[in-house]
Structure 1
Amino acid sequence: MAKRDYYEVLGIQKDASKDDIKKAYRKLAIQYHPDKNPGNKEAEEKFKEATEAYEILSDDQKRPAYDQFGHAGVEGMGGGQDFSQAFRGFEDIFSGDLGGIFETFFGGGGRRSSGGGQGGVRQGANLRYDIEIPFKDAIFGSKVEIQYSRNESCPTCKGSGAANGAGKKVCPTCQGSGQVRHSQGFFSVASACPSCGGEGYIIEHPCKDCGGTGTQKKRQKIMVTIPAGVENGRRVVIPRQGDAGPNGGPPGDLYVFIRVKAHEYFERQDDDLYCAVPISITQASLGADIQVPTLDGKTIKVKIPPGIQNGKLLRIRDEGVPNGSRRGNLYIKVIVQIPAKLSKRGRELMEELAKVEGEVDSPKPISLSELAGQ
Structure 2
Amino acid sequence: SKEENAIEKFKEVQEAYEVLSDDQKRAQYDQFGHAGANQGFGGFGGGGDFGGGFGFEDIFSSFFGGGGGRRRDPNAPRQGADLQYQVTLDFEEAIFGKELNVEIPVEDPCDTCKGSGAKPGTSKETCKHCSGSGQVSVEQNTPFGRIVNRQACGHCSGTGQIIKEKCTTCHGSGKVRKRKKINVKIPAGIDNGQQIRVSGKGEAGVNGGPAGDLYVVVHVRNHEFFEREGDHIICEMPLTFAQMALGAEVEVPTVHGKVKLKIPAGTQTGTEFRLKGKGAPNV
TM-score range for the pair, normalised by the shorter chain length: 0.7 to 0.9
- Is residue 106 of structure 1 aligned with residue 106 of structure 2? no
For 2:107, the equivalent position in structure 1 comes to 151
* TM-score, structure 1 normalization: 0.60
Q: Which structure dedicates a bigger proportion of its chain to helix?
A: 1
Structure 1 match to 2:38:
none
* Counterpart in the other structure of 2:186: 226
Tell me by how many angstroms 1:133 deviates.
Answer: 1.7
Going from structure 1 to structure 2, the CA distance change for 1:49 and 1:251 (only over 3 Å counts) comes to same
What's 1:271 paired with?
231
Which TM-score applies when normalising by structure 2? 0.77
1:217-256 superposed matches below 5 A: 217-256=177-216
What percent identity do the matched residue pairs reach? 39
Measure, in 2, the Cα distance between the counterparts of 1:6 and 1:244. Answer: 54
Deviation at 1:323, TM superposition (A): 2.8
CA shift for structure 1 position 25: 5.0
- Please state whether the residue corresponding to 1:255 is helix, strand or coil: strand
Report the residue type matching 2:162 in the other structure.
I
Quote the Cα distance in structure 1 between the aligned partners of 2:179 and 2:55.
57
Q: 1:230–1:107: structure 2 CA closer, same or farther, 3 Å change rule?
A: farther
Greater Rg over alpha carbons, structure: 1
**Deviation of 1:47 (Å):** 4.2
Rounded to whole Å, the distance in 2 between the matches of 1:155 and 1:211 is 13
Work out the CA distance in 2 between the residues paired with 1:170 and 1:246: 18
Q: Which residue matches 1:5? A: 5
C-alpha spacing 1:190/1:126, structure 2 compared with 1 (3 Å): farther
Alignment equivalent of 1:166, drawn from 96, 116, 122: 122
Secondary structure of the 1:225 match is strand
Tell me how far apart the structure 2 counterparts of residues 312 and 226 of structure 1 sit (CA, whole Å): 34
Aligned residues: 259
| Mapped pair 1:294 → 2:254 | yes
1:22 equivalenced with 2:38 (yes/no): no
Distance 1:294 1:160, change over 3 A: same
Deviation at 1:7, TM superposition (A): 3.6
145-154 or 189-198, which moves further after superposition? Answer: 189-198
Q: Deviations over 1:200-254 (max 9, x none)?
A: 1001111111111111000122221101112222221112211112334332111
1:142 to 94, 98, 119: 98
Looking at structure 1, the residues matched to 167 and 260 of structure 2 have their Cα atoms a distance apart, in angstroms, of 69
CA distance in structure 2 between the partners assigned to 1:25 and 1:291 by the alignment? 77
Q: Helix, strand or coil for the counterpart of 2:245? A: helix
Is 1:181–1:191's contact at 8 Å kept on the other side of the alignment?
A: yes
Superposition deviation, residue 154 in structure 1: 0.7
2:78 alignment partner in structure 1 = 122
Q: Which has the higher contact order (CA 8 A, sep 6+)?
A: 2
How far 1:257 sits from its partner (Å)?
A: 1.6
Aligned residue number for residue 268 of structure 2: 309
Asked whether the equivalents of residues 32 and 47 of structure 1 are also in contact (C-alpha less than 8 Å), the reply is no
Distance 1:53 1:300 in 2: 73
Residue number among 197, 200, 216 corresponding to 2:176 in the alignment? 216
In structure 2, the partner of 1:320 is 279
Two-structure CA RMSD over aligned residues (Å): 3.8
| Shift in CA distance, 50/314, structure 1 to aligned 2, threshold 3 Å | farther
Q: Which runs of 5+ in 2 are unaligned?
A: 35-44
Counterpart amino acid of residue 106 in structure 1: G
Cross-structure match for 1:282: 242
Does structure 1 retain, via aligned residues, the 8 Å contact 2:48–2:55? no
Letter in 2 for 1:5: N
Give, in angstroms, the shift of residue 287 of structure 1.
0.7
Separation in 1, partners of 2:174, 2:46? 37
User: Structure 1, residues 240-290: CA drift from partner, whole Å, max 9, x if none?
Assistant: 211112334332111112222222222222222112111111111011111
Aligned to 1:277, what secondary structure does the other structure show? Answer: coil
| Per-residue CA distance 1:138-196 (angstroms, 9 max, x = gap) | 22111122211101111111111111111111111221111234346357544322111
Relative to 1, partners in 2 of residues 1:122 and 1:25: Cα closer, same or farther, differing over 3 Å?
Answer: closer
Task: Give structure 1 stretches of 5+ with no counterpart.
Answer: 13-19, 38-42, 55-79, 91-101, 325-374
